[in-house]
Amino acid sequence: MADNRRLACCLCLVPVLTAAAFVDLDAKAAEPSEAVEIARHEQEHSSLRVQPARLDGAPGLAFLFSGTHDLHYYAKSDTAPAPGLNLTIIVVSDTLRFAPPVFPKWRVFKDPTGAVVEVYAGDFTVFVPVASAEPGAAAAQVDITIKGITCTSQLCLPPFDVEMRMRVDHATADTWPPVTLESPAIPAEPAEGEQSTAAVGPDYSLGFALVLALVAGLILNVMPCVWPVLPLIVMRIVQQAKDARGRSFSLGLAFCAGILLFFVALAGLNIILQVFYGTVMGWGDPFRSPVVVTTVVILLVFLAVYMFGLINFALPTSIAGAGGSRAGYLGSVGMGLLAAILSTPCGFGILAAAFAWAQTRHWSIATMVILTIGIGMATPYAILISVPGLLSRLPRPGRWMELVKQAIGFTLLFIAAKFLLGLSDHRRDGVLYFCVLMAVALWMWGTWVDFNSPRQRKYAIRLIAVALVGASAWAFLPARTELIDWQPWDAAHIDTARAQGRPVLIDFTADWCLNCVVVDKLVYSDRAVADLIRAGNVLPIRADTTESDSPATIALKHVYNEPGTLPVNMFFAPGADEPVRWRGTNFKNELIKAIESL
């Protein structure tokens, strides 16, 4: 799922002067530099001055930021619109050595997506201490780089990279003016019983927030993500209507309890985060995790295959209440829990408002609001089981329900594709391959055998299906990030490296090459290989030959005289005219020996 802040960052349509600035300042030792504007958008702006100063008696440089409060910088890399776009200050000098910057206390900002981020805004000071100075150091030239990105509550401006230069007379450090930071860099813990005010959110009254939460829960029942279980829910309620009145009512309550169970878990997680960690959880935070998004995609594809009728597990039996009283109640709770889980991705926008407000209040109020969302979702089913006349009006199961299930299967595939777009290219391809092979395995499991098949044949087929899923997960679901800093194809870069005597490794690959994925798993996902590449100062090039007219494809055929069959890997040792070539998948030991021979 794409983060709105990341999309706004990529649009970069606002004409602001934040791309880069280079200012040569010959300031007096104890006077601030001229103010440099970092960013401006309509009425929002932020500027910076730099001056020598002392913090608690220690000399250094004070970075004096001033601006409006809605325009903010990011304090942490992992909550910035993209990694590395947090506020970064680098100070370099030939005669002075500077310690890491000392930042003030951040404030918590809740962006339009509901994400909670740590930011600096308005007027604040960052101090960079002088760690040491060379003997006799006086007027020293200092080069300064300030990088990051600024955002408002509506959009993000282009990333900035501001460079400054000034002269600092360290001999006069005793006369530098004192400065103070607003507070320590670590947020203060609220006193026991005190309400945390770190997060900001909509100023709703408690009554209005509870009504909003109830409405949000009601709307969850018509979200596309919950459609797959609606036919099953209807069939279950119709079946329950045939049971004794008491059992029908209790099974319905078990289904409602399953819905509430999910929201009880959310409320418990929120209590843990607020009480023990002093932070809050944004409703969309889980869907910023590639692992969570991958899991959701796989679940949706699994359910789509089930909707198409290609598999028939024991789940529908328990859902229908067969197998005894215990199985019926557990099936009801499980179906309610599944309905609540599936509703959350599509209900992101409407849930964010109530959830954001809840997390700005005391944990007890937050718990009340979160549980009210669950009550709202469970209310329609509670009404159905409480009024027998409504159950009698529900449509009877028939062919129409099977057609609806199949149509919902296609809807689920569309939703899965939407989630898939939120993954990086490297993960997206692997998840797509895995889902296709998982669907094949489920087809084998559900249609290659039936109840009349011999037991040995049944076990053999399903063992093959399980093995196919396991092998696909190993091959296509990366559990960690790239270990090697691959560079894109650049012929000039390769020629320069070879001319300088640097070894070069080229991995010719393509999106359609399944064996290339195997190479990545068998060879380049080995940490020992990655460490050896770094230690040997090898230039790793990943040459994408997916398209026939790409420069890497042309070079593969016309420069290296390869027919185009992949995978192909080449290693150029320093001074060698011809590379060592590997055209298979199992060449890890040869690659290690080639690098070690250097």
| Mean pLDDT across 372-392 | 76
pLDDT for 323 equals: 41
What pLDDT, in 10s, does the model give residues 505-515? 999 998 888 78
The percent of residues in the chain predicted with pLDDT above 90, rounded, is: 16
The residue to which tokens 């509901």 are assigned: 114
Q: Can you give the pLDDT at residue 580?
A: 93
Q: pTM value?
A: 0.47
User: What's the pLDDT at 439?
Assistant: 92
Q: Are strands 44-55 and 504-509 parallel, antiparallel or unpaired?
A: unpaired
Sign of CA dihedral 263, 269, 275, 278: negative
State which H helix or E strand residue 302 sits in.
helix 290-307
Tokens of 499: 């001319």
Q: pLDDT digits over 183-206, tens only?
A: 433 333 333 333 333 334 445 567
Which tens digits make up the pLDDT trace of 202-216?
Answer: 455 677 778 877 887
Residue with tokens 């089930």: 306
Q: What are phi and psi of 34, to 5 degrees?
A: -65, 150
Return d(Cα 347, Cα 377) in angstroms, integer. Answer: 11
What does DSSP say about strands 504-509 and 107-110: parallel, antiparallel, or unpaired? unpaired
239, 316 Cβ separation under 8 angstroms: no
pLDDT mean over 431-446: 90
Q: What local confidence, expressed as pLDDT, does residue 13 receive?
A: 36
- pLDDT class for 237, splitting at 50, 70, 90? low
Confidence of residue 347 (pLDDT cuts 50, 70, 90): low
Look at residue 195 in the predicted model and tell me its pLDDT: 39
Instruction: Kindly indicate the confidence band of residue 113, based on its pLDDT and cuts at 50, 70 and 90.
Output: low
* pLDDT recorded at residue 319: 42
Encode pLDDT of 26-81 as tens digits. 333 344 567 888 988 888 899 999 999 998 888 999 999 999 988 999 988 877 87
Contact yes or no for 367/285 (Cβ under 8 A): no
More confident residue, 52 or 138: 52
pLDDT at 127 over 90: yes
Whether cis (ω within 30° of 0) applies to the bond prior to 551 is no
pLDDT in tens, 392-434: 665 665 677 677 778 877 877 888 888 888 776 667 878 888 9
Comparing CA positions, the residue from 385, 257, 251 lying closest to residue 318 is 251
Q: Which residues contact 283 (CB under 8 A, 6 or more apart)?
A: 114, 344, 348, 351, 352, 355, 356
Are 322 and 156 within 8 A, CB to CB? Answer: no
Average of per-residue pLDDT values in the chain: 76
| Three-class DSSP labels, 310-340 | CCCCCHHHHHCCCCCHHHHHHHHHHHHHHHH
Q: What is the pLDDT of residue 356?
A: 59
Stated as kind and residue range, the H or E segment containing 129 is strand 124-133
Q: Does residue 323 or residue 17 have the better pLDDT?
A: 323
CB 46 within 8 A of CB 78: no
Q: Which comes out higher in pLDDT, residue 230 or 216?
A: 216
Q: What is the spatial distance between Cα 285 and Cα 271, in angstroms, rounded to a whole number?
A: 16
Among residues of the chain, what percentage have pLDDT more than 70?
Answer: 72
pLDDT at 394: 59
Tokens 């959310």 correspond to 266
pLDDT of res. 87: 93
The closest of 496, 572, 503 to 538, measured between CA atoms, is 503
Helix runs in 536-587, H state only: 551-558
Check residue 208 and give its pLDDT: 76
Highest mean pLDDT among 261-265, 368-372, 464-468, 584-588: 464-468
Task: Give the span between the Cα atoms of 55 and 228, in whole angstroms.
Answer: 61
State residue 65's pLDDT score: 93
Q: Is the pLDDT of residue 142 over 50?
A: yes
479-527 tens-digit pLDDT: 555 688 888 899 988 998 898 889 999 999 988 887 888 888 889 888 8
The stretch 82-89 carries a mean pLDDT of 84
pLDDT: is 396 or 145 the higher one?
145
**Mean pLDDT, range 246-269, rounded to an integer:** 81
pLDDT given for residue 541 in this prediction: 93
How confident is the model at residue 10, as a pLDDT?
41
pLDDT given at position 151: 87
CA distances from 12 to 37, 156, 482 (A): 18, 8, 28
- d(CA 436, CA 517) in angstroms, rounded, equals 15
Give the Å distances, CA to CA, from 215 to 103, 209, 218, 358.
Answer: 42, 10, 5, 15
How far are the Cα atoms of 122, 250, 318 from residue 524, in angstroms, in the given order? Answer: 46, 56, 45
Maximum alpha-carbon separation in the chain:
95
CA separation for the pair 351, 220 (Å, rounded): 9
The strands making up 72-74's β-sheet, listed across from edge to edge, are 107-110, 116-121, 72-74, 150-151
Where residue 321 falls among pLDDT bands split at 50, 70, 90? very low
Helix (H, G, I), strand (E, B) or coil at 25: coil
- pLDDT of 7 higher than 80: no
Q: List, in order of start, the domains of the chain with CATH numbers.
A: 4-174 (2.60.40.1250), 206-423 (no CATH), 487-596 (3.40.30.10)
Amino acid 200: pLDDT: 41
Beta strands in 18-95 (DSSP E): 20-24, 36-41, 44-55, 58-67, 72-74, 88-93
The DSSP-derived string for 449-484 is --TTS-HHHHHHHHHHHHHHHHHHHHHH--SS--SS
d(Cα 459, Cα 456) in Å, to the nearest integer?
Answer: 5
Residues 228, 414: Cα–Cα separation, whole Å: 13
